[in-house]
Amino acid sequence: MATEKARQLLARLAATPDAAVPNLPFVQRALLLPLLSAASVLLRLPVILSSSPLRSRRTLPVPVISVGNLTWGGNGKTPMVDFLARRFHAMGVSPLILTRGYAGGDESKMLRRRLADTSTKIGIGANRAAVASSMLQKHGHVDPCDAFRREKFSSARNRAATSESAKIGLAILDDGMQHQSLLRDVEVVMVNGLTPWGNTHFIPRGPMREPLSTLTRADIVVIHHADLVCEAQLETIARTVQDSGATCSVFFSKLAPSHIFEVHQPLQKLSLNALDGMITLCVSAIGCPDAFIRTVREIGPLNVDRLDFSDHHFFNGHDLELIQERVRQLVDQHNKETVVLVTEKDYDRDPDVLKMLGVKVWVLSSSLQIMPLKEQGEDELMRKLKDIITATRHVVQP
C-alpha cells in the first residue's frame, strides 16, 4: 500500500506544471522536486546513447512498423498495435508483434486474447531482435508487398483465410520509440490528445521520454483521444508537431467501446445499454484514467464513481477491500445495485483477482478507430503505411 501511495505521489508531481509548483507542500517543493529533476538528467543519458547513429542496428528480412510515444501512458499505443495487426491480417499479411511484456505483461496478454482469431504471432522479450529472429526462423517469412498487390483482386474472406496459415509478412514493434536496436521501415508516434506533452519535463519530473525534436524521425503521428478534446486543442498539437521540424502525416484516433463482458463469462458479450440506469464504479490502473471515465459517462450510466491506481498496478487484498467498501457506500447512497467496471488491460493483468471481489464486475471492451478528420481516415492511413513499406523495400508497384 505504501508503494502504491508513493507511485501515485510521484505521478502527481510528474503532472505538476511549473506554474503550480509554489502551491505544493514544502517537502515536495523543496526536496522531492529537486531530486526528481536530478534523476531526469541521469535517466536521459541512456536515451541519448540509444539514439546514437554509431550504435549498430539489426535489419529484419520483413518490414518493421514501430509504434511508440514520447510520453508515458495513455497514448493508445497498444490499441494501435491491435488495430494494425487486424488490418494487415485482413489484407492477407500475417503480422508478428514484438513486445517487451512490461510490468507483468498485461498489454501482451490483452493482445494475445484479442487477436486469437487472427494470424498474428506475438513474440515477448526484452531483446526483440533475438525474439524476432527466433519467430522468423520458426514460422518463415514472405514479402508483404505481394499481398498488397493482390489485395484489390481478392475478397476480404479469401485474404483472411490465406493469412491464417501464412508466413510472417511484417513485424510490429510495440513501444518501439526507445528501442533502437532494430531498424524500422515506418515510425508511428502516438500522442495523447488530452495531455500531449504534460509539463514538458522528462521522466521522473515529468512524463516525457523523448524530446519533441524526436518527432522528426516520425513517418506518421496519430493524435489519440481526439474525440475527447476540442478542435482548437487538436490544431495546437498538430502545430507543435509541425514546429518540431517533423514533416510527417498526422492522423486522429479514438477508443470506441463495443461491448461489455462479465469477468466470469468473457466470451458472452453484453450490449453497452446494459449500463443504462446503473450505478458504476470505474476501477482502473492505466495510464490515462480520465479518458476511461469520460468514455463511460458518454455511454450513459445513472452515476459514475471512480477509483484510480497507478499504471500497471496489480490489485492486492487491501485494494479488493477498498473496492468492496466503495461499492457498499454507493449501494447505501443510491439504494441500488452497483457494478464495478474495469478496462480490458486491468482484466488481462490478473482476471482471477477480479473474480474474488464478490461483487458484479464487468469489463469494457474497446477498439481503436481512425477518425476521418481533415481527409485523413483509415483508408488513407493504411495506404500511407503500404506506400512507405513498398518504397523502403524497393518494390515497384504495378
- Write out pLDDT tens, residues 262-291: 999 999 999 999 999 999 999 999 989 999
Confidence of residue 396 (pLDDT cuts 50, 70, 90): very low
Mean pLDDT in the chain?
Answer: 89
**Given this structure, which CATH class describes domain 258-367?**
alpha beta
DSSP string, 115-150: TTTSS-EEEE-S-HHHHHHHHHHHH-B--HHHHHHH
- C-alpha grid cell, residue 33: 522536486
Range 235-244 average pLDDT: 94
164 confidence band (pLDDT: 50, 70, 90): very low
Reply yes or no on whether the pLDDT at 344 is more than 70: yes
Task: Give the pLDDT confidence of 286-326 residue by residue, as tens digits.
Answer: 989 999 999 999 999 999 999 999 988 999 999 999 999 99
Same fold, 64-255+370-392 and 258-367: yes
Q: So what's the pLDDT on residue 397?
A: 40
State how far the Cα of 67 lies from the Cα of 51, in Å rounded to an integer: 16
Which range has the worst mean pLDDT, 126-130, 320-324, 357-361, 378-382?
126-130
pLDDT at res. 392: 86
Its pTM stands at 0.90
Whether residue 328 has pLDDT greater than 60: yes
Q: Tell me the C-alpha distance between 25 and 373, whole Å.
A: 43
Query: Does the pLDDT of residue 162 top 60, yes or no?
Result: no
Lookup: cell for 69: 510515444
Indicate the pLDDT class of residue 52, thresholds 50, 70 and 90.
low
Lowest mean pLDDT among 177-186, 326-335, 383-392: 177-186
Domain boundaries, the chain: 64-255+370-392, 258-367
Share of the chain above pLDDT 90, in %: 68
Res 154: pLDDT: 62
32-47 per-position pLDDT tens digit? 899 999 998 887 776 6
Cα-Cα-Cα-Cα dihedral sign, residues 286, 289, 291, 295? positive
Domain covering 64-255+370-392 in this structure, CATH number:
3.40.50.300
Q: Which residues contact 138 (CB under 8 A, 6 or more apart)?
A: none
Q: Which runs of E-coded beta strand occur in the chain?
A: 64-69, 94-99, 121-124, 168-174, 186-192, 220-224, 249-262, 265-270, 279-284, 303-308, 338-343, 361-370
Considering just the CA atoms, what is the radius of gyration of the chain in Å?
A: 22
